[in-house]
Structures are given as C-alpha cells and as structure tokens.
Structure 1
Amino acid sequence: MSIPASDADDSVSAGELSARYDTFVVDLLGSIAYGELSAFERLAIDARHSPSLGDRAVLGKMAVSEFGHYEAICARLNAMGMDPELAMAPFVRMVDSFHERTRPADWHESLMKAYVVETITEEFYAAIAEHLDDATREAIAGVHTSDEQIETLTSLLKTMLAEDPRLSSRLALWGRRMVGEALTQVQRIGAKHSFLVGLRPDATQEQAAAEVQTILSALTRNHSKRMSKLGLTA
C-alpha cells in the first residue's frame, strides 16, 4: 500500500508519505477492530438485562453483527501482512476506559448508548474511508449496522419514551453525554496515535485535524437529526 509519488512535496519524500499512510491505515484498522470486538462483548452483556426475550434477541443480533465486523477488519489486516492482535493492542486501554466511563445504568441507557455510539463511530469511519485505497475503503464500508437494526432500535426507544414520558429528560441527557464521549474518544485516540494525519499524508497534523473537525461537525448534525426522530433534544 503506498501513496503515489506525485503526492509528495519538496520537503517530504514519497517513501516517507507511503510509510505515514501505511502506519495510518494499520492504526485505523486496529482501532476499528478492537472497537468492534468490544462492542460485541458489551452488547452481549447488555442483552442479558433485556426485559423480554424479543428485546434480548435485538441486542444479540447486533452483537453478532459486531463480531462479523471485527472478523472482516482482521481479515483486511491479515491481507496486509499485519498481525491483528498487535494492531489492536495500542487501543485496548483507551477503548476499555471509554466503556467503563459510559457503563449504562439500566436497559434504557443500554439502548440509547447503542443508538448513539454505533451510528457516530460508523459514520466517522465511513467519512475517513473516503480518503483511503479501494481495498481498505471496502473493508471499512462493511462496518455498518443495518438500516433494519437502526430502525428496530429507534422503534424500541420510541416505545419506551411513549410508555414512560419521565424517561425523556434522562435519556436526552444520557444521549448528549454519549455523543460527547464518542466524539472526544475519536479525537483522543487520533491525537495520541497521530493516525489522523493519514487523511492527508502530505499535510501537517494541524491541517489534518481541521479536516477531521469538519467531519465531526457533520456527525454532530446527523446525531441531532436522529435524536429529533425520538422527540429528544440533542
């Protein structure tokens, strides 16, 4: 995997740009892989607290999908000649810490966390993938919760809110916390591992960060629209 020599400027060699890009892709895929593995574990655990077997099946199905995403990203890393476990290792502590900070108190918060965090992270990956090579972009495109599952989550949340209007303020607040935590997590991992430079390998960290900020602003707008569907304020 490499960056065309024409992309190099006078101060950075094509070889250095290629090395930056390769490091970016491995780090990005490593963070996605561990994020999906963690999501699988989290959803499987949350499913056990479901109020009904039908609800348990909803989160169980999502958990299975997350594990499939994990396997697909690992397959891409293997195809690149990279060890998935080594690629994931730098992100274990930060991702685990994120889930500790955002541990749901009950079933309602579990559903809201899934609704917010899954869509935010997947949209972020998709936006970054637009800048990448075809094989990596295709692999990341597969990390996508189906429209059917999102609609099911939306329907469950709407039903809960209709049955108990007192949940509205609590879940609105929880949703705001989730989106804030999710966006901060993306920025924190990117800053620590400098993989966001891979969006524009010939650019500075500051220029890449500005581009990422544009993406984050779009994610925030999309999140607000999703919350509006639930009748909640983002």
Structure 2
Amino acid sequence: MSTSPADPARYNSFLRDLLGVMAYGELSAFERLSSDARYSPTLHDRAVLAGIAVIEFQHYELLRARLEEMGLDAEAAMLPFQPAVDHFHERTRPADWYESLMKAYVIDTVSADFYRAVARHADAGTRELVERIHSDDESTAVLRELLRTALAADPRLASRLSLWARRLLGEALTQAQRVSFEHAFPAGLTGADEGRSGEPAGEMTAGLVASHSRRMTQLGLTG
C-alpha cells in the first residue's frame, strides 16, 4: 500500500481520530483494570490484573508519544471520544471478578480485531504501532488462562459468562460502528485505495463476530 494520502487533510483527520480513540481506550482500560482488581479473590490475582493494567498504560504512552511526534495534543485528540467510551464502561460494569476477567478479555480482543482492520487503511508506521499494541500478547494469554481455570473450577459459571460475553460483544460492536460512522474510518484514504470502496460495515462486523465466537469456543463457551 502506498503511504501517500490521496487527500492529506482527510487522512490526517483519520489518523488523529484513530490514535485518539485508541489512546483514550488504553487509558480507560488502565483505569478499569486497576479498579476491577479489587474483585480479585487472592492477592496473586490482584497483582496479575494490576500488571495487565500497567501494560495498558504503557500502550497509552506509546500512542500519546506518537500523537505528540505528529505535533498534535494528545488530550485534544482523545476528548471527542471520552463521553462515548465512559458511557460504554458505565453500561458494562462487571458484577464480580469473573465478569471483570471476561470483560477485559472480550473488549481487548474485539478492540484488537477492529483496530487492525481499520489500520489496514493507514501508513506502514501506523499499522506497525497498532499491531504492536494489539498483538495477541501475554496479557491476552493470561486472561484466557484465568478464565479457563475459573470455568474448570466452577462449571456453573459457563452459562452466566456466556451471556455476559454476548452482551459485551453487542455493546462493543455498537461502539465500533458508531466510531466508524462518526469519525471517518472508511478506506479510500491513501493513494493505493483511491477509487476503491471501503470495507463494508457488515463484512467487518461479521469478521469480528466470527473471531469472537472462535475465542469463546476455545474457552468451552457459546459465542
């Protein structure tokens, strides 16, 4: 893909919004995980979740630094997304430790799939940054194992966590669609994409749902 934008002003707006929403998402994840650690049944589990929160803050710092390298104010780039993201987390407050784990797992993985798809229409440097932040990293593996351990110890959790994961997916998809619509996240932003239509919303949504279902199956749950 060419890194030369067909419409520089439009592309710069797209890039500011992409990095801004990701930065606020990472900052919010840090706050959420730090707070949710209070549900932890053991000090070890609390430390594990706190460690993942630290990684989220490190991701925020990477995005903040990239925005500043571009001559942009990170706070100004994040502010347009604050109300929607905060409202999302208010609507999806976990009731206990198990719901906290599932929320972290579902939101982080669905967000990763979404931003990777969006970043395909960005320059190589931005794609590399998004991949670095949203790779299937150690944090995701830790959350997966914590969930597997919990489900193995108490199979009665399966039904409740399946329903919770389904609700989280629906909320996450609604959020992703709103962000895409309101903040210019289609294709057609770089020279190589000029004249080509963007990825249909339905196609992207189907991909997100399919990936989520596979991850739920790996946990022994219905998607």
Both structures adopt the same fold (TM-score exceeding 0.5):
yes
Partner of 2:82: 92
- Where does the alignment leave 5 or more consecutive residues of structure 1 unmatched? 8-16
* 2:116 matches 1:150: no
Does the C-alpha gap of structure 1 residues 98 and 203 become closer, same or farther in structure 2, counting only changes over 3 Å? farther
Paired residues, number? 218
Partner Cα distance (2:87, 2:71) in 1: 29
Aligned with 1:200 (options 184, 188, 202): 188
Asked whether the 8 Å contact 2:3–2:124 carries over to 1, the reply is: no
Shift of 1:151: 2.2
* 2:200 matches 1:220: no
Shift of 1:146: 5.1
Partner of 1:81: 71
Partner of 1:185: 175
Partner Cα distance (1:177, 1:56) in 2: 25
SS of match in other structure, 2:122: coil
Q: Which amino acid aligns with 1:230?
A: L
SS of match in other structure, 1:48: helix
Instruction: Choose between structure 1 and 2 for higher RCO, CA contacts under 8 A separated by at least 6 residues.
Output: 2
Partner Cα distance (1:216, 1:97) in 2: 21
Asked whether the 8 Å contact 2:59–2:133 carries over to 1, the reply is: yes
Partner Cα distance (1:140, 1:166) in 2: 37
Partner Cα distance (1:58, 1:42) in 2: 14
Partner of 1:174: 164
Provide the aligned C-alpha RMSD in A.
Answer: 1.9
Partner Cα distance (2:135, 2:150) in 1: 21
Partner of 1:119: 109
Larger-gyration structure (1/2): 1
Partner Cα distance (2:141, 2:88) in 1: 25
Partner Cα distance (1:74, 1:181) in 2: 26
- Where does the alignment leave 5 or more consecutive residues of structure 2 unmatched? none
* 2:127 matches 1:137: yes
Deviations 1:17-64 (A, max 9, x none): 111111011011100000100000000001122001111122111101
Shift of 1:167: 1.1
Identity of aligned residues (%): 54
- Runs of 4+ aligned structure 1 residues displaced above 6 Å come to none
Asked whether the 8 Å contact 2:3–2:123 carries over to 1, the reply is: no
Aligned with 1:66 (options 21, 34, 56): 56
- Which moves more between the two structures, 100-109 or 163-172? 163-172
Does the C-alpha gap of structure 1 residues 172 and 147 become closer, same or farther in structure 2, counting only changes over 3 Å? same
Aligned with 2:219 (options 224, 227, 230): 230
Asked whether the 8 Å contact 2:16–2:67 carries over to 1, the reply is: yes
In the superposition, the TM-score normalised over structure 1's length comes to: 0.87
Asked whether the 8 Å contact 1:129–1:137 carries over to 2, the reply is: yes
